[in-house]
Structure 1
Amino acid sequence: MDIAVPRRSERLPGISMAGFRQSLPAPVDIAMVAHPGVTLLVDLSEGEGIVCDSRGRRERGSVVIGLMPGDLRAGGHVGECLQLRLEPDVAAAVLDASPDLSGAMAPLADVWGRDAARFEDRLRATASWDERFRIAAEVVGQRMRARTPVEPEVAHTWRRTLTSRGRMQVDSLAGEVGWDRKHLWSRFRSQLGISPKRALRLVRFDHAAHLLAAGHAAASVAAECGYVDQSHLHREVKAFTGLTPSAVAVAPWLAIDDVAWPTSSPNRSPATAGRYIPECR
């Protein structure tokens, strides 16, 4: 499978894109590993195309997937698809409403209405991935600018969750933005569709999963990621994927991450986390 990534000029903050193409459509059946982002999977295949299964629900064609459920599988005869990963604070604006990020899946048409078909048509009209990335950046950027962003305190909390790789306490996050724990929990959950605690767990798991895929031993991964012990790591991996750490280490979905999503590599230093400065209102 050929993988394309956008030029720097087509990248938007909080959004990652990758294009996938097979010279001949071929049967695919792959388990998708949970990651801290909302996924737009835009099916550009001819014929049967992509079929996604999650929790007994099956959807064909382009879909929106909340923070990836552990039992999600993508299959069908896949020729081409465009995948966008949206960080939750971005997804809240791009998807028109507070998304359910607990792992729900819905057809893109149910979320964007007629705009979904127009978006697909524009992407199908060109075979150039550079042009497709430009179109995607244009469409998503317009939606972001047309909608009210999440509160800066919520956006800061999400950013700190990422830069700390999930190794913070909710009370500490609340203290950074001048809120109490209950208020942060309420605002974060209502705007991003996930609790601060689950967000921390998911980001920490994502870092651990990539270390496992890079060949690190489970015991060292548990220590580096702040789990109590190897058994704690095993329980968390099982909770998010239904798999053991050894099975996650060889998951095909993670094997392509360094190519499709190079900025997600756990060996790269996270962005510097600045101190929260409230906006003047």
Structure 2
Amino acid sequence: MENPVWEVARPSHAGPFPLGGFRHRTGGTVELRVVPHPAITVVLEFGDGKLLLDDGAQHGSFVAGLAPRGVRIRGEGVACVEVRLPPLNAAGLGTGPAELDRTAGLAELCGRDADRLRDQLSETGSWDTRFALVEAAFARRISAVPAADPEVAWAWRRIVQSRGRVRVESLAAEFGWSRRRLWDRFRARVGVPPKRAAKLVRFDHAARRLAAGASAAEVAAGCGYADQSHLHRDVVAFAGVRPGVLAGDPGFAADRSAFA
């Protein structure tokens, strides 16, 4: 029997959110590693098979915030669209980002809208049409969300632009807030405190370099880690595996190819 693999699809144009499509193309059970990103990750399942998570619980479509550790999804006959939403807009999912400290079923957050979107994805054979449906659905939800405090949005941008290497202790002082005020406002909107957000952004950059074939030593030096042991601890904390295992994981490679 041919080894099971994922068919990977990418949008033909740049949209408001990063999107990728995955379909189980051959026989057997498939696995795809979903590691934390500096975004709210939504996986929308629409295949004939069952989408399962690590613990064996059937979730179907699910949402993961910035806090949960990486999970594997697996199943047979699975097809899904993955979308990454800015954490500042997490309230568009019907909850606050701080409540996304676990992997939650999309239906429990979005109710009938989730079922309606799944039906629409199942009824079309075009990936671009699926991507357009997902973009429109989440754009509508996010448009109804009040904007974040400008200071919180600015702090998030600074963390992302610095690839997680900004001194988060100095962020509040730059616009005259107390550290406590920034930490509280940032966590309420993003779901994690600034320091955790910076570590996640740095890990995301390191994971991209590992997936591209860079050595652990190169990644540690280039991404601001004190040494390889420091990199190792962060990768295990976020992905649940060692850097070498993560870099060689076929499902992780498929995920990265969809969002390159």
Opposite residue 8 of structure 1, the aligned amino acid is: H
Opposite residue 204 of structure 2, the aligned amino acid is: D
Matches within 5 A, 1:243-258: 243-258=241-256
Q: Is the 8 A contact 1:165 1:204 kept in 2?
A: yes
Write the distance in 1 (CA, Å) between the matches of 2:227 and 2:96.
35
How well do the aligned residues superpose, as a CA RMSD in angstroms? 2.1
How far the C-alpha of 1:223 sits from its partner, in A, is 1.5
Identity %, equivalent residues? 44
Write the distance in 1 (CA, Å) between the matches of 2:152 and 2:255.
27
1:229 to 223, 227, 230: 227
How far the C-alpha of 1:190 sits from its partner, in A, is 0.9
Opposite residue 259 of structure 1, the aligned amino acid is: S
Map of 1:146 onto structure 2: 144
Q: Is the 8 A contact 1:93 1:150 kept in 2?
A: no
Q: Does 1:156 align with 2:144?
A: no
Write the distance in 1 (CA, Å) between the matches of 2:77 and 2:58.
14
1:194 to 187, 192, 195: 192
1:6 to 2, 11, 27: 11
Structure 1 stretch 194-203 or stretch 120-129: which is displaced more?
Answer: 120-129
How far the C-alpha of 1:29 sits from its partner, in A, is 2.8
Spell out, residue by residue over 1:98-130, the C-alpha distance to the aligned partner (whole angstroms, 9 max, x if none): 123765111111000111111111222211111
Write the distance in 2 (CA, Å) between the matches of 1:85 and 1:119.
16
Q: CA separation of 1:239/1:259 partners in 2, compared to 1, >3 Å: closer, same or farther?
A: closer
Q: CA separation of 1:89/1:253 partners in 2, compared to 1, >3 Å: closer, same or farther?
A: farther
Query: What TM-score comes out, normalization by structure 1 length?
Result: 0.83
Which runs of 5 or more structure 1 residues have no equivalent in the other structure?
Answer: 263-281
Write the distance in 1 (CA, Å) between the matches of 2:60 and 2:191.
24
Query: What TM-score comes out, normalization by structure 2 length?
Result: 0.89
> Counterpart of 1:139 in 2: which secondary structure?
helix
Q: CA separation of 1:16/1:101 partners in 2, compared to 1, >3 Å: closer, same or farther?
A: farther
Map of 2:72 onto structure 1: 73
Structure 1 stretch 33-42 or stretch 70-79: which is displaced more?
Answer: 70-79
Write the distance in 2 (CA, Å) between the matches of 1:137 and 1:143.
10
Opposite residue 245 of structure 1, the aligned amino acid is: P
Map of 1:276 onto structure 2: none
How far the C-alpha of 1:165 sits from its partner, in A, is 0.5
Structure 1 stretch 196-205 or stretch 63-72: which is displaced more?
Answer: 63-72
Write the distance in 2 (CA, Å) between the matches of 1:249 and 1:146.
39
Map of 2:51 onto structure 1: 50
Q: CA separation of 1:93/1:123 partners in 2, compared to 1, >3 Å: closer, same or farther?
A: same
Q: Is the 8 A contact 1:101 1:194 kept in 2?
A: no
* Count of aligned positions: 255
Q: Is the 8 A contact 1:59 1:107 kept in 2?
A: no
Q: Is the 8 A contact 1:96 1:147 kept in 2?
A: no
Map of 2:3 onto structure 1: none
Spell out, residue by residue over 1:126-149, the C-alpha distance to the aligned partner (whole angstroms, 9 max, x if none): 111111111111111111112212
Q: CA separation of 1:251/1:34 partners in 2, compared to 1, >3 Å: closer, same or farther?
A: farther
2:92 to 91, 94, 99: 94
How far the C-alpha of 1:213 sits from its partner, in A, is 2.1
1:181 to 171, 175, 179: 179
Write the distance in 2 (CA, Å) between the matches of 1:148 and 1:116.
22
Spell out, residue by residue over 1:45-87, the C-alpha distance to the aligned partner (whole angstroms, 9 max, x if none): 11x321123xx47233111112273351211113311111112
Q: CA separation of 1:2/1:28 partners in 2, compared to 1, >3 Å: closer, same or farther?
A: closer
Which runs of 5 or more structure 2 residues have no equivalent in the other structure?
Answer: 1-5
Q: Does 1:28 align with 2:30?
A: yes
Q: Is the 8 A contact 2:31 2:251 kept in 1?
A: no
Map of 1:61 onto structure 2: 60
